[in-house]
Amino acid sequence: SGNLILILGDQLSTAVSSLAGADRGRDRVLMAELHEETTYVRHHKKKIALVLSAMRHFAAVLEEEGWHIEYIRLDDPENTKSFTGEIERALDRQPVERIVVTEPGEWRLLEQFRQWSQRFGVPVDILTDDRFLCSRSDFAEWASGRKQLRMEYFYRDMRRRTGLLMDGDNPIGGKWNFDAENRKPAKPDLFMPRPLHFEPDRTTADVLGLVGERFGGHFGDLEPFWFATKAQQAKAALDQFIEHALPSFGDYQDAMLRGERFIYHSVLSAYINIGLLDPLSVCRAVEEAYASGAVPINAAEGFIRQIIGWREYVRGIYWLKMPDYVEENVFSNTRPLPDFYWTAETDMTCLREAITQTKEDAYAHHIQRLMLTGNFALLAGVAPREIHEWYLAVYADAYEWVELPNTLGMSQFADGGLLGSKPYAASGNYINKMSDYCRDCRYDVRLKTGPDACPFNALYWDFLVRNRGTLGANPRLGQVYRTWDKMDPAKQTSYRESAHVFLTTLT
Ligand code: FAD
Ligand code: SF4
């Protein structure tokens, strides 16, 4: 008998390490659609549909390539609903020499997999996921002995290691980072590119039926469903992005516009995270577009930094800090997540727009996540665990290894500042500068306090003052606290009262 190779729903690549040393003639591949995985948080319907459809398409590819596949469908009456249960059933069907799996993206699953060899009396090989450029142990080595884990230094190492945008030992363009050029607000433009949309095929249509039936109560709109579910489609989406949106990606990376959900972003994270696109190949394609003169350096560098810098870095942090990381809560916040995160029913135009598109497309771009929904939860003092579970549920690209450090660390500062030197807290002024949301808002961004003032304004000060014990010594906030101290006491009181009045209206 051969080995049993387990392939997870986010490992849908023929180059995955668990298949690399496998033998088509002897080994069996197990893939399973599991209730446990679809419901441990109540994922967006589009996200469940994407993963299930991509799994079915991928299984068909493997079958065509001559692999022996055992594919367990969600509605199979024998489905035990968990990986451990499905491994047990597979071993009952036929004994194996070893169980082989590429390491999962979540602590919860790794813990489960580690118990298998004892439980089943079969050796279990948990292989490195070499779709990532920096392994967990490489990251731990990089981090050890450093006082601060600065992304920028990690990123430079990754540039050197991959040779991306390098001219020998030097960064192309003479600088490592062109972010200073990437903070422009955008203007509405009839010709703004859109990510490619794909018509559901038979396989996807079947999955949509199943998801509609089984997960009707989950957040989000199932249709229209337009995601790529196969590697060739994801590649077409990448090509379209590089040709039409990448040239402006850098300039407008932080911009937000009403009715423009994607601006010049790639909308590729959901595909990369499940294996339909390989991150290094994506970066090489972007580098090539730069080399051919089709895109400027600030766009190519900015994009590549997100992938070999931020994406790898947050994964490293996740594995370095779990399992305790998820419990961190430096501000001791306890507020439940406001209901409008699920309904989009709020008068705050910026949040309504971001949450509506999240509901419809399971997508919001980085600045919407960080400076709208994230910033608001931070200022309002929402419990980090609640906002973490929201992000994990609502985005098509959300997997704990990437979502948790972004939410708990970058956006909520709940780890006390591992990822950033100060919290991403901002008043309405920032949102007004980077977007056109405020023009049509029932609140006035220029008013500081009172019932018609933009709520972000008073919440911003209330957050800083409320958390002075934790943040007061932060050198990057010195100026801000000095401004507060110089403020007229009546004005201070009015800020705090406005914030409190607003917070009591949250349900
Ligand atoms: P683009 O703007 O086109 O960026 C290109 C690629 O870079 C992305 O596809 C992604 O692979 C990578 N990338 C960019 N920023 C980051 C980052 N901060 N961390 C990791 N990768 C990055 N990203 C996820 O993939 N899954 C998540 O669950 C997730 N949750 C987030 C939660 C919060 C609170 C915040 C602030 C950010 C989160 N991000 C997450 C990071 C980022 O917002 C998304 O990767 C990005 O918006 C995806 O859209 P895009 O493909 O159009 O990205
Ligand atoms: Fe958002 Fe305030 Fe602007 Fe309204 S005024 S859109 S609440 S930032």
For residue 501, the domain's CATH number is 1.10.579.10
| pLDDT in the model for residue 37 | 81
Q: Is residue 296 part of a domain?
A: yes
| pLDDT in the model for residue 404 | 98
What is the tens place of the pLDDT at every residue in 467-492? 999 999 999 999 999 999 999 999 99
| Helix (H), strand (E) at residue 72 | strand 68-72
382 lines ligand 1 (CB under 6 A): no
Tokens representing 74? Answer: 């969600």
Q: Is residue 445 part of a domain?
A: yes
| Domain identity same for 348 and 428 | yes
pTM, 2 dp:
0.97
| Domain identity same for 306 and 360 | no
- The CATH number for 275's domain is 1.25.40.80
Ligand 2 centroid to residue 487 C-alpha, Å? 23
Provide the residue type at 472 as one letter. Answer: G
Q: Is residue 352 part of a domain?
A: yes
- The CATH number for 29's domain is 3.40.50.620
Average pLDDT for residues 316-333, to the nearest whole number?
Answer: 97
User: What is the value of ipTM here, to two decimals?
Assistant: 0.99
Q: Is residue 328 part of a domain?
A: no
In this structure, how many other beta carbons lie within 10 angstroms of the beta carbon of residue 247? 17
- Structural domain tally of the chain? 3
| pLDDT in the model for residue 417 | 92
Alpha-carbon dihedral sign for residues 204, 17, 40, 113: positive
Q: How confident is the model at residue 63 (pLDDT cuts 50, 70, 90)?
A: very high
| Domain identity same for 122 and 143 | no
Tell the burial category of 15 from Cβ atoms under 10 Å away from its Cβ (0-12, 13-18, 19+).
exposed
Q: Is residue 215 part of a domain?
A: no
Tokens representing 129? Answer: 């996921």
Question: For residue 298, is pLDDT > 80?
Answer: yes
Question: For residue 98, is pLDDT > 90?
Answer: yes
| Domain identity same for 267 and 350 | no
Ligand 1 centroid to residue 219 C-alpha, Å? 20
| Domain identity same for 362 and 444 | yes
Q: Which of 127, 148, 182 is the last residue of a domain?
A: 127
| pLDDT in the model for residue 297 | 96
| More confident of the two residues 182 and 346 | 346
Cβ(108)–Cβ(120) below 8 Å? no
229 lines ligand 1 (CB under 6 A): no
Q: Is residue 448 part of a domain?
A: yes
Q: Write out the residue range of the structural domain in which residue 10 sits.
A: 4-127
Q: Is residue 489 part of a domain?
A: yes
Q: How confident is the model at residue 74 (pLDDT cuts 50, 70, 90)?
A: very high
Q: How confident is the model at residue 183 (pLDDT cuts 50, 70, 90)?
A: confident
Beta bridge partners of 260: 257
Give the CA angle between residues 181, 186, 187 to the nearest 5°. 145
Average pLDDT for residues 340-350, to the nearest whole number?
Answer: 98
Residue entry with tokens 């306890």: 334
φ, ψ at 124 (rounded to 5°) = -120, 120
435 lines ligand 1 (CB under 6 A): no
47 lines ligand 1 (CB under 6 A): no
375 lines ligand 1 (CB under 6 A): no
372 lines ligand 2 (CB under 6 A): no
| Domain identity same for 460 and 492 | yes
Pairing of strands 166-167, 170-171: antiparallel
Ligand 1 centroid to residue 468 C-alpha, Å? 30
Ligand 1 centroid to residue 366 C-alpha, Å? 6
Average pLDDT for residues 243-258, to the nearest whole number?
Answer: 93
Tell the burial category of 169 from Cβ atoms under 10 Å away from its Cβ (0-12, 13-18, 19+).
exposed
Question: For residue 313, is pLDDT > 90?
Answer: yes
Question: For residue 35, is pLDDT > 90?
Answer: no
Tokens representing 254? Answer: 């932080």
373 lines ligand 1 (CB under 6 A): no
Question: For residue 90, is pLDDT > 90?
Answer: yes
| Domain identity same for 349 and 304 | no
| Domain identity same for 85 and 195 | no
Question: For residue 190, is pLDDT > 80?
Answer: no
Please write down the long-range contacts of 488-492, taking CB distance under 8 Å and 24 or more positions apart.
491/448, 491/449, 492/461, 492/465
| Domain identity same for 371 and 303 | no
Order of all β-strands in the sheet with 68-72: 68-72, 28-32, 4-6, 99-102, 124-127
Q: State the first-to-last Cα distance of the chain, in angstroms, to the nearest integer.
A: 58
Q: How confident is the model at residue 196 (pLDDT cuts 50, 70, 90)?
A: very high
Ligand 1 centroid to residue 374 C-alpha, Å? 13
Cβ(291)–Cβ(27) below 8 Å? no
| Domain identity same for 371 and 473 | yes
| pLDDT in the model for residue 286 | 98
Cβ(453)–Cβ(442) below 8 Å? no
Q: Is residue 212 part of a domain?
A: no
Tell the burial category of 115 from Cβ atoms under 10 Å away from its Cβ (0-12, 13-18, 19+).
exposed
Within a 13 Å sphere around the CA of 99, how many CA atoms are in the beta-carbon half? 28
| Domain identity same for 96 and 232 | no
Q: How confident is the model at residue 182 (pLDDT cuts 50, 70, 90)?
A: confident
- 3-state class (DSSP) for residue 100: strand
Beta bridge partners of 444: 453
CA of 403: how far to CAs of 2, 390, 397, 414, 473, in Å?
Answer: 36, 10, 8, 14, 28
Percent with pLDDT over 70 in the chain? 100
Q: How confident is the model at residue 301 (pLDDT cuts 50, 70, 90)?
A: very high
C-alpha closest to that of 389 among 402, 374, 404 = 404
Average pLDDT for residues 63-89, to the nearest whole number?
Answer: 95
Ligand 1 centroid to residue 288 C-alpha, Å? 22
Percent with pLDDT over 90 in the chain? 93
278 lines ligand 1 (CB under 6 A): no
| Domain identity same for 431 and 477 | yes
What is the C-alpha separation between 223 and 214, in angstroms, rounded? 15
Q: Which of 93, 127, 161 is the last residue of a domain?
A: 127
Atom in ligand 2 nearest the alpha carbon of residue 440: 6
Average pLDDT for residues 431-455, to the nearest whole number?
Answer: 97
- Concatenating the DSSP letter of every residue in 153-164 gives HHHHHHHHHH-T
Question: For residue 179, is pLDDT > 90?
Answer: no
Q: Across all residues in the chain, what is the average pLDDT?
A: 96
Q: Which of 259, 290, 321 is the last residue of a domain?
A: 321
